[in-house]
Amino acid sequence: MEEQSGWYYFMEIVTKPDNIPIVGMLILVLFFTWVGLKQALKNDRLIDEGREDEISDQMWK
């Protein structure tokens, strides 16, 4: 009998019906964390350039 790899067991656990919402939530958390950090970096660049008044205009776009 062939020994199963770690990925096999990982995918078996991840694809169980009880765990699918958790995996989806993890993907959403990572995505919105990335979006928030991207916007924060853009705002920091505006502050460094001395254009603090444009930050609120950028947020409404």
**Each residue's pLDDT tens digit, 5-50:** 899 999 999 999 999 999 999 999 999 999 999 999 999 999 999 8
Residue 2 has pLDDT above 80, yes or no: no
Nearest partner of 38 among 30, 50, 48, judged by Cα: 30
Place of tokens 């444009």: 54
The type of residue at 38 is: K
Kindly report the pTM of this predicted structure: 0.70
How does residue 59 score in pLDDT terms, banded at 50, 70 and 90? confident
Residue 3 has pLDDT above 90, yes or no: no
The whole-number pLDDT of residue 1 equals 63
pLDDT at 26: 95
Query: Can you say how many angstroms the Cα of residue 31 is from the centroid of all Cα atoms in its chain?
Result: 2
Number of C-alpha atoms within 13 angstroms, CB side, residue 52? 1
Question: Which regions of 1-61 does DSSP assign to beta strands (E)?
Answer: none
